[in-house]
Structure 1
Protein backbone atom coordinates (compact mmCIF):
# COMPACT_ATOMS: atom_id res chain seq x y z
CA UNK A 1 0.00 0.00 0.00
CA UNK A 2 2.88 2.39 0.80
CA UNK A 3 4.41 1.74 -2.66
CA UNK A 4 1.07 2.48 -4.28
CA UNK A 5 0.72 5.77 -2.40
CA UNK A 6 4.29 6.84 -3.18
CA UNK A 7 3.91 5.73 -6.81
CA UNK A 8 0.63 7.61 -7.14
CA UNK A 9 1.73 10.94 -5.66
CA UNK A 10 5.49 11.36 -5.18
CA UNK A 11 7.83 9.27 -7.34
CA UNK A 12 7.40 6.26 -9.56
CA UNK A 13 9.68 3.98 -11.54
CA UNK A 14 8.90 3.94 -15.26
CA UNK A 15 10.05 1.19 -17.63
CA UNK A 16 11.37 2.44 -20.99
CA UNK A 17 9.37 0.58 -23.68
CA UNK A 18 11.00 1.76 -26.92
CA UNK A 19 14.19 2.96 -28.61
CA UNK A 20 12.94 6.53 -29.14
CA UNK A 21 15.17 8.01 -26.42
CA UNK A 22 18.40 6.12 -27.24
CA UNK A 23 21.17 6.48 -26.23
CA UNK A 24 20.02 8.49 -23.25
CA UNK A 25 17.57 5.73 -22.38
CA UNK A 26 17.63 2.12 -23.55
CA UNK A 27 14.74 -0.35 -23.79
CA UNK A 28 14.19 -1.88 -20.35
CA UNK A 29 15.86 0.95 -18.39
CA UNK A 30 13.93 1.98 -15.32
CA UNK A 31 13.81 5.68 -14.61
CA UNK A 32 12.62 7.40 -11.47
CA UNK A 33 9.88 9.90 -12.28
CA UNK A 34 9.47 12.81 -9.86
CA UNK A 35 5.74 13.51 -9.80
CA UNK A 36 6.20 16.61 -7.61
CA UNK A 37 8.77 18.28 -9.90
CA UNK A 38 6.22 20.65 -11.43
CA UNK A 39 3.93 21.07 -8.48
CA UNK A 40 4.24 23.91 -6.00
CA UNK A 41 5.77 26.35 -8.48
CA UNK A 42 8.18 24.05 -10.35
CA UNK A 43 8.36 24.90 -14.05
CA UNK A 44 8.86 22.63 -17.03
CA UNK A 45 12.13 23.55 -18.75
CA UNK A 46 13.48 22.99 -22.22
CA UNK A 47 15.64 19.84 -22.16
CA UNK A 48 13.68 18.13 -19.36
CA UNK A 49 12.87 14.46 -19.96
CA UNK A 50 9.20 14.06 -19.07
CA UNK A 51 6.70 11.25 -18.82
CA UNK A 52 3.22 12.20 -19.99
CA UNK A 53 -0.14 10.65 -20.71
CA UNK A 54 -0.52 10.67 -24.49
CA UNK A 55 -4.10 9.41 -24.57
CA UNK A 56 -5.97 11.32 -27.25
CA UNK A 57 -2.80 13.20 -28.25
CA UNK A 58 -0.18 10.57 -29.16
CA UNK A 59 -2.56 7.60 -29.14
CA UNK A 60 -6.22 6.68 -29.38
CA UNK A 61 -8.93 7.81 -27.03
CA UNK A 62 -9.21 6.08 -23.69
CA UNK A 63 -7.87 2.89 -22.16
CA UNK A 64 -9.68 -0.25 -23.40
CA UNK A 65 -8.81 -2.30 -20.31
CA UNK A 66 -11.25 -2.71 -17.46
CA UNK A 67 -10.95 -1.33 -13.91
CA UNK A 68 -9.36 -4.50 -12.46
CA UNK A 69 -6.69 -4.63 -15.17
CA UNK A 70 -5.94 -0.90 -14.69
CA UNK A 71 -5.56 -1.43 -10.92
CA UNK A 72 -3.16 -4.34 -11.45
CA UNK A 73 -1.12 -2.28 -13.94
CA UNK A 74 -1.03 0.66 -11.51
CA UNK A 75 0.28 -1.60 -8.73
CA UNK A 76 2.91 -3.17 -11.01
CA UNK A 77 4.07 0.20 -12.35
CA UNK A 78 4.32 1.70 -8.85
CA UNK A 79 7.17 -0.72 -8.08
CA UNK A 80 8.68 -0.57 -11.58
CA UNK A 81 7.74 -4.02 -12.86
CA UNK A 82 5.10 -3.06 -15.39
CA UNK A 83 3.68 -0.29 -17.53
CA UNK A 84 1.26 2.23 -16.11
CA UNK A 85 -2.35 2.32 -17.27
CA UNK A 86 -3.07 4.61 -20.19
CA UNK A 87 -0.60 5.49 -22.87
CA UNK A 88 2.40 6.96 -21.09
CA UNK A 89 5.29 8.28 -23.16
CA UNK A 90 8.75 9.54 -22.33
CA UNK A 91 10.18 12.36 -24.48
CA UNK A 92 12.37 15.41 -24.19
CA UNK A 93 10.85 18.90 -23.99
CA UNK A 94 12.08 20.96 -26.93
CA UNK A 95 9.56 23.81 -27.07
CA UNK A 96 7.51 25.55 -24.40
CA UNK A 97 4.26 27.49 -24.72
CA UNK A 98 4.84 30.60 -26.82
CA UNK A 99 8.04 29.28 -28.46
CA UNK A 100 8.47 29.24 -32.21
CA UNK A 101 10.07 25.87 -33.00
CA UNK A 102 11.48 25.51 -36.51
CA UNK A 103 13.49 22.98 -38.45
CA UNK A 104 15.85 23.52 -39.74
CA UNK A 105 18.39 26.33 -40.15
CA UNK A 106 21.06 26.32 -42.88
CA UNK A 107 23.25 24.02 -40.74
CA UNK A 108 20.42 21.55 -40.08
CA UNK A 109 19.77 22.63 -36.48
CA UNK A 110 16.42 23.14 -34.78
CA UNK A 111 15.76 26.77 -33.87
CA UNK A 112 13.85 28.03 -30.88
CA UNK A 113 12.72 31.64 -31.34
CA UNK A 114 15.30 32.04 -34.16
CA UNK A 115 18.19 30.76 -31.98
CA UNK A 116 19.85 27.41 -32.84
CA UNK A 117 19.27 24.77 -30.16
CA UNK A 118 22.32 22.95 -28.79
CA UNK A 119 21.30 19.29 -28.45
CA UNK A 120 24.07 17.28 -26.75
CA UNK A 121 21.51 14.57 -26.02
CA UNK A 122 21.00 13.55 -29.65
CA UNK A 123 21.86 9.95 -30.44
CA UNK A 124 25.28 9.90 -32.12
CA UNK A 125 24.93 10.09 -35.89
CA UNK A 126 21.40 11.50 -35.74
CA UNK A 127 20.32 14.70 -37.44
CA UNK A 128 17.98 16.98 -35.48
CA UNK A 129 15.14 16.17 -37.89
CA UNK A 130 14.54 14.89 -41.40
CA UNK A 131 11.08 16.48 -41.23
CA UNK A 132 10.78 20.22 -41.73
CA UNK A 133 8.38 22.10 -39.47
CA UNK A 134 7.65 25.59 -38.23
CA UNK A 135 5.20 25.89 -35.35
CA UNK A 136 4.31 28.34 -32.63
CA UNK A 137 3.67 26.21 -29.51
CA UNK A 138 0.34 27.22 -27.95
CA UNK A 139 0.46 28.49 -24.36
CA UNK A 140 0.06 25.66 -21.86
CA UNK A 141 1.41 23.07 -24.30
CA UNK A 142 4.78 21.45 -25.10
CA UNK A 143 6.66 20.37 -28.24
CA UNK A 144 8.38 17.06 -27.42
CA UNK A 145 10.84 14.87 -29.33
CA UNK A 146 12.79 11.68 -28.77
CA UNK A 147 16.60 11.72 -28.68
CA UNK A 148 16.72 8.98 -31.36
CA UNK A 149 15.02 11.16 -33.95
CA UNK A 150 14.90 8.59 -36.75
CA UNK A 151 13.10 6.09 -34.46
CA UNK A 152 10.78 8.35 -32.48
CA UNK A 153 7.09 9.04 -32.88
CA UNK A 154 6.84 12.52 -31.43
CA UNK A 155 5.38 15.98 -32.02
CA UNK A 156 6.65 16.04 -35.61
CA UNK A 157 4.47 13.06 -36.54
CA UNK A 158 1.30 14.64 -35.19
CA UNK A 159 1.41 18.08 -36.82
CA UNK A 160 -1.94 17.55 -38.57
CA UNK A 161 -3.81 16.43 -35.46
CA UNK A 162 -5.67 18.69 -33.03
CA UNK A 163 -3.08 20.54 -30.95
CA UNK A 164 -0.58 20.36 -33.81
CA UNK A 165 1.47 17.61 -32.18
CA UNK A 166 1.83 19.47 -28.92
CA UNK A 167 1.15 17.98 -25.49
CA UNK A 168 -0.92 19.79 -22.83
CA UNK A 169 1.21 20.60 -19.78
CA UNK A 170 -1.46 19.13 -17.51
CA UNK A 171 -0.83 15.72 -19.13
CA UNK A 172 2.74 15.67 -17.79
CA UNK A 173 3.01 13.02 -15.06
CA UNK A 174 6.47 14.09 -13.93
CA UNK A 175 10.11 14.66 -14.73
CA UNK A 176 12.41 11.68 -15.25
CA UNK A 177 15.24 12.28 -12.77
CA UNK A 178 17.61 9.35 -13.21
CA UNK A 179 18.14 5.88 -14.62
CA UNK A 180 17.90 3.66 -11.54
CA UNK A 181 18.10 0.21 -13.16
CA UNK A 182 20.19 -1.54 -14.30
CA UNK A 183 22.91 -0.33 -11.91
CA UNK A 184 25.54 -0.18 -14.66
CA UNK A 185 23.46 2.50 -16.43
CA UNK A 186 22.71 4.62 -13.36
CA UNK A 187 22.84 8.26 -14.45
CA UNK A 188 21.15 11.60 -13.79
CA UNK A 189 18.83 12.86 -16.54
CA UNK A 190 18.89 16.49 -15.45
CA UNK A 191 20.11 19.03 -17.99
CA UNK A 192 21.63 22.34 -16.97
CA UNK A 193 20.38 25.51 -18.61
CA UNK A 194 17.25 25.45 -20.73
Structure 2
Protein backbone atom coordinates (compact mmCIF):
# COMPACT_ATOMS: atom_id res chain seq x y z
CA UNK A 1 0.00 0.00 0.00
CA UNK A 2 1.46 3.35 -1.03
CA UNK A 3 1.98 6.17 1.41
CA UNK A 4 2.33 9.92 1.07
CA UNK A 5 4.92 12.20 2.61
CA UNK A 6 8.65 12.22 2.71
CA UNK A 7 10.36 8.88 2.37
CA UNK A 8 11.38 7.57 5.73
CA UNK A 9 8.82 9.68 7.57
CA UNK A 10 5.78 8.26 9.32
CA UNK A 11 2.79 9.92 7.60
CA UNK A 12 0.87 9.96 10.87
CA UNK A 13 3.59 11.93 12.63
CA UNK A 14 2.99 15.67 12.55
CA UNK A 15 5.62 17.75 10.88
CA UNK A 16 7.30 20.84 12.24
CA UNK A 17 5.06 23.82 12.99
CA UNK A 18 5.26 27.03 10.99
CA UNK A 19 5.95 29.08 14.08
CA UNK A 20 9.09 27.23 15.00
CA UNK A 21 12.39 26.18 13.59
CA UNK A 22 11.84 23.15 11.36
CA UNK A 23 15.20 21.82 12.39
CA UNK A 24 14.62 22.21 16.11
CA UNK A 25 10.85 22.13 16.46
CA UNK A 26 10.71 25.25 18.69
CA UNK A 27 7.11 26.00 19.66
CA UNK A 28 5.57 29.50 19.81
CA UNK A 29 5.96 31.06 23.20
CA UNK A 30 9.21 29.29 23.96
CA UNK A 31 12.19 31.63 23.97
CA UNK A 32 15.44 30.54 22.47
CA UNK A 33 17.74 30.45 25.45
CA UNK A 34 20.58 31.67 23.30
CA UNK A 35 18.75 35.00 22.64
CA UNK A 36 20.06 37.65 25.07
CA UNK A 37 17.39 39.31 27.24
CA UNK A 38 16.97 43.08 26.70
CA UNK A 39 17.70 45.17 29.77
CA UNK A 40 16.48 48.68 30.65
CA UNK A 41 18.69 51.69 31.24
CA UNK A 42 20.42 51.84 34.64
CA UNK A 43 18.63 54.08 37.17
CA UNK A 44 21.50 56.56 37.20
CA UNK A 45 20.90 57.18 33.50
CA UNK A 46 17.11 56.85 33.40
CA UNK A 47 16.34 59.28 36.25
CA UNK A 48 18.48 62.16 34.89
CA UNK A 49 16.89 61.61 31.46
CA UNK A 50 13.40 61.91 32.97
CA UNK A 51 14.42 65.08 34.82
CA UNK A 52 15.81 66.62 31.62
CA UNK A 53 12.63 65.74 29.69
CA UNK A 54 10.47 67.27 32.43
CA UNK A 55 12.52 70.48 32.42
CA UNK A 56 12.31 70.72 28.65
CA UNK A 57 8.52 70.36 28.82
CA UNK A 58 8.32 73.05 31.51
CA UNK A 59 10.51 75.35 29.40
CA UNK A 60 8.38 74.83 26.29
CA UNK A 61 5.12 75.37 28.20
CA UNK A 62 6.23 78.53 29.99
CA UNK A 63 7.90 79.98 26.91
CA UNK A 64 5.13 79.40 24.39
CA UNK A 65 1.91 78.60 26.29
CA UNK A 66 1.77 80.45 29.61
CA UNK A 67 3.15 80.78 33.09
CA UNK A 68 2.18 81.69 36.64
CA UNK A 69 2.98 85.05 38.22
CA UNK A 70 2.47 86.41 41.71
CA UNK A 71 0.85 89.80 42.30
CA UNK A 72 3.26 91.82 44.50
CA UNK A 73 1.30 95.04 45.02
CA UNK A 74 -2.20 96.48 45.43
CA UNK A 75 -2.22 98.48 42.18
CA UNK A 76 -4.80 96.14 40.58
CA UNK A 77 -7.17 95.75 43.52
CA UNK A 78 -9.90 94.67 43.75
CA UNK A 79 -9.44 92.65 40.55
CA UNK A 80 -6.10 91.19 41.66
CA UNK A 81 -5.09 91.06 45.30
CA UNK A 82 -1.62 91.93 46.52
CA UNK A 83 -0.05 93.79 49.42
CA UNK A 84 3.28 94.29 51.13
CA UNK A 85 4.12 91.44 53.47
CA UNK A 86 1.25 89.17 52.41
CA UNK A 87 0.75 86.38 49.92
CA UNK A 88 -0.65 87.91 46.75
CA UNK A 89 -2.78 86.26 44.10
CA UNK A 90 -1.20 83.78 41.72
CA UNK A 91 -2.37 84.41 38.18
CA UNK A 92 -2.13 82.39 34.99
CA UNK A 93 -0.86 84.43 32.05
CA UNK A 94 -1.73 83.13 28.60
CA UNK A 95 0.96 83.66 25.94
CA UNK A 96 -1.00 82.22 23.03
CA UNK A 97 -3.89 84.70 22.66
CA UNK A 98 -1.76 87.55 21.39
CA UNK A 99 -0.07 85.38 18.78
CA UNK A 100 -3.38 85.51 16.90
CA UNK A 101 -4.56 88.98 17.89
CA UNK A 102 -3.66 92.17 19.73
CA UNK A 103 -4.47 93.36 23.25
CA UNK A 104 -7.76 95.21 23.42
CA UNK A 105 -9.09 97.87 25.80
CA UNK A 106 -10.27 96.12 28.96
CA UNK A 107 -7.68 93.32 28.83
CA UNK A 108 -5.46 92.79 31.87
CA UNK A 109 -1.91 92.16 30.65
CA UNK A 110 1.53 91.37 32.01
CA UNK A 111 4.38 93.26 30.36
CA UNK A 112 8.05 94.01 30.83
CA UNK A 113 8.45 97.58 32.01
CA UNK A 114 10.08 99.98 29.54
CA UNK A 115 13.28 101.68 30.71
CA UNK A 116 11.55 104.64 32.37
CA UNK A 117 9.45 102.22 34.45
CA UNK A 118 12.49 100.48 35.87
CA UNK A 119 13.81 103.25 38.12
CA UNK A 120 14.22 101.79 41.57
CA UNK A 121 13.88 98.21 40.36
CA UNK A 122 16.20 95.87 42.27
CA UNK A 123 17.47 92.60 40.91
CA UNK A 124 15.95 89.49 42.50
CA UNK A 125 19.15 87.53 41.91
CA UNK A 126 21.57 86.57 44.69
CA UNK A 127 24.93 88.30 45.12
CA UNK A 128 26.53 84.87 45.41
CA UNK A 129 27.86 84.07 41.91
CA UNK A 130 27.11 80.34 42.18
CA UNK A 131 23.55 80.86 43.37
CA UNK A 132 23.04 83.64 40.82
CA UNK A 133 24.15 81.30 38.02
CA UNK A 134 21.72 78.63 39.18
CA UNK A 135 18.95 81.25 39.39
CA UNK A 136 19.71 82.43 35.85
CA UNK A 137 19.55 78.86 34.59
CA UNK A 138 16.27 78.39 36.44
CA UNK A 139 14.99 81.60 34.85
CA UNK A 140 15.77 80.29 31.36
CA UNK A 141 14.04 76.99 32.10
CA UNK A 142 11.09 78.74 33.69
CA UNK A 143 11.23 77.42 37.26
CA UNK A 144 12.58 80.71 38.65
CA UNK A 145 11.06 84.15 37.89
CA UNK A 146 12.94 86.13 35.22
CA UNK A 147 15.13 88.95 36.49
CA UNK A 148 13.13 91.73 34.89
CA UNK A 149 10.53 94.27 35.95
CA UNK A 150 7.35 92.46 34.91
CA UNK A 151 4.19 94.41 35.68
CA UNK A 152 0.43 93.89 35.43
CA UNK A 153 -2.06 96.58 34.38
CA UNK A 154 -5.24 97.01 32.35
CA UNK A 155 -5.23 98.21 28.74
CA UNK A 156 -7.15 101.50 28.54
CA UNK A 157 -6.35 102.70 25.02
CA UNK A 158 -4.46 101.43 21.99
CA UNK A 159 -2.28 103.00 19.32
CA UNK A 160 -3.84 106.00 17.57
CA UNK A 161 -6.35 106.73 20.35
CA UNK A 162 -6.31 109.84 22.53
CA UNK A 163 -6.62 109.32 26.27
CA UNK A 164 -7.05 111.86 29.06
CA UNK A 165 -9.49 114.40 30.38
CA UNK A 166 -12.61 114.00 32.50
CA UNK A 167 -16.29 113.65 31.75
CA UNK A 168 -18.70 115.77 33.84
CA UNK A 169 -19.11 112.73 36.13
CA UNK A 170 -15.37 112.27 36.48
CA UNK A 171 -14.95 109.37 34.06
CA UNK A 172 -11.78 108.97 32.02
CA UNK A 173 -12.12 109.96 28.37
CA UNK A 174 -10.77 108.05 25.38
CA UNK A 175 -11.32 109.78 22.03
CA UNK A 176 -13.62 112.14 23.91
CA UNK A 177 -15.92 109.38 25.21
CA UNK A 178 -16.11 108.27 28.88
CA UNK A 179 -15.07 104.71 29.66
CA UNK A 180 -17.28 102.17 31.39
CA UNK A 181 -15.11 100.88 34.24
CA UNK A 182 -17.02 98.64 36.67
CA UNK A 183 -13.78 97.21 38.08
CA UNK A 184 -12.49 100.43 39.67
CA UNK A 185 -11.44 100.25 43.30
CA UNK A 186 -13.01 103.58 44.23
CA UNK A 187 -15.31 106.39 43.14
CA UNK A 188 -13.76 107.81 39.95
CA UNK A 189 -15.26 111.27 40.37
CA UNK A 190 -12.88 114.21 40.13
CA UNK A 191 -13.48 115.22 43.73
CA UNK A 192 -12.67 111.76 45.05
CA UNK A 193 -9.88 110.74 42.66
CA UNK A 194 -8.59 113.55 40.41
CA UNK A 195 -5.64 111.42 39.19
CA UNK A 196 -8.10 109.14 37.42
CA UNK A 197 -8.56 111.52 34.49
CA UNK A 198 -6.81 114.86 35.19
CA UNK A 199 -3.99 114.41 32.70
CA UNK A 200 -3.28 114.70 28.99
CA UNK A 201 -4.78 114.32 26.57
CA UNK A 202 -2.14 111.97 25.15
CA UNK A 203 -2.19 110.30 21.74
CA UNK A 204 -0.97 106.73 22.09
CA UNK A 205 1.78 105.88 19.53
CA UNK A 206 0.88 103.23 16.96
CA UNK A 207 1.72 99.73 18.16
CA UNK A 208 1.66 100.79 21.82
CA UNK A 209 -0.82 100.55 24.70
CA UNK A 210 -1.91 102.95 27.42
CA UNK A 211 -2.21 100.95 30.66
CA UNK A 212 -3.54 101.80 34.12
CA UNK A 213 -4.13 100.00 37.38
CA UNK A 214 -7.64 99.36 38.69
CA UNK A 215 -6.60 100.95 41.99
CA UNK A 216 -6.22 104.40 40.43
CA UNK A 217 -5.10 106.05 43.65
CA UNK A 218 -2.21 103.62 44.11
CA UNK A 219 -0.80 102.65 40.73
CA UNK A 220 2.35 104.01 39.10
CA UNK A 221 1.12 103.38 35.55
CA UNK A 222 1.20 105.19 32.19
CA UNK A 223 0.12 108.46 33.84
CA UNK A 224 3.46 108.67 35.67
CA UNK A 225 5.69 108.08 32.63
CA UNK A 226 4.30 110.55 30.09
CA UNK A 227 7.69 112.20 29.71
CA UNK A 228 9.45 109.14 28.30
CA UNK A 229 10.01 108.23 24.65
CA UNK A 230 6.69 106.37 24.46
CA UNK A 231 4.66 109.10 26.24
CA UNK A 232 3.91 106.64 29.03
CA UNK A 233 2.62 103.86 26.79
CA UNK A 234 3.93 100.29 26.55
CA UNK A 235 5.31 98.94 23.23
CA UNK A 236 3.72 95.81 21.82
CA UNK A 237 7.02 93.91 22.00
CA UNK A 238 7.04 94.35 25.79
CA UNK A 239 3.71 92.56 26.21
CA UNK A 240 4.17 89.08 27.70
CA UNK A 241 0.60 87.81 27.77
CA UNK A 242 -3.00 88.12 28.88
CA UNK A 243 -4.11 87.45 32.44
CA UNK A 244 -6.78 84.75 32.20
CA UNK A 245 -7.40 83.61 35.76
CA UNK A 246 -6.54 83.74 39.44
CA UNK A 247 -5.41 80.22 40.41
CA UNK A 248 -4.42 80.80 44.07
CA UNK A 249 -5.50 81.23 46.83
CA UNK A 250 -8.37 78.78 46.57
CA UNK A 251 -10.99 81.21 47.84
CA UNK A 252 -10.22 83.60 44.95
CA UNK A 253 -9.96 81.14 42.07
CA UNK A 254 -11.74 82.42 39.00
CA UNK A 255 -11.42 84.02 35.59
CA UNK A 256 -10.27 87.61 35.11
CA UNK A 257 -12.86 89.38 32.90
CA UNK A 258 -12.01 91.69 29.98
CA UNK A 259 -15.03 94.02 29.74
CA UNK A 260 -15.67 96.16 26.69
CA UNK A 261 -14.78 99.42 28.39
CA UNK A 262 -15.19 101.51 25.22
CA UNK A 263 -18.71 100.26 24.49
CA UNK A 264 -20.15 103.74 24.86
Q: TM-score with structure 2 length normalisation?
A: 0.66
Count residues in correspondence.
189
- CA-based RMSD: 2.3
CA distance in 2, matches of 1:101, 1:131: 11
**Greater RCO (Cα-Cα under 8 Å, separation 6 or more):** 1
Equivalent residue runs for 1:1-194 within 5 Å: 1=55, 2-27=57-82, 28-39=88-99, 41-60=100-119, 68-73=134-139, 75=141, 78=142, 83-126=145-188, 127=193, 129=196, 131-194=198-261
Between 1:178-187 and 1:101-110, the stretch displaced more is 101-110
Which ranges in structure 1 are unaligned for 5 or more consecutive residues?
none
Superposed displacement of residue 108, structure 1: 1.0
Question: 2:163–2:204: 8 Å Cα contact kept in structure 1?
Answer: yes
Question: 1:179–1:186: 8 Å Cα contact kept in structure 2?
Answer: yes
Question: 2:112–2:149: 8 Å Cα contact kept in structure 1?
Answer: yes
1:51-92 CA distance string (max 9 Å, x none): 0000414114998656543333455xx45xx64321100000
Shift of the 98–178 alpha-carbon distance from structure 1 to 2, 3 Å rule, reads: same
Larger radius of gyration: 2
Question: 1:49–1:175: 8 Å Cα contact kept in structure 2?
Answer: yes
CA distance in 1, matches of 2:134, 2:114: 19
CA distance in 2, matches of 1:149, 1:63: 24
Q: Which protein has the bigger strand share?
A: 1
Superposed displacement of residue 132, structure 1: 2.1
Which ranges in structure 2 are unaligned for 5 or more consecutive residues?
1-54, 83-87, 126-131
SS at the partner of 1:103? strand
Superposed displacement of residue 133, structure 1: 2.1
CA distance in 1, matches of 2:227, 2:169: 26
Q: TM-score with structure 1 length normalisation?
A: 0.88
Superposed displacement of residue 192, structure 1: 3.7
CA distance in 2, matches of 1:84, 1:162: 25
CA distance in 1, matches of 2:224, 2:136: 28
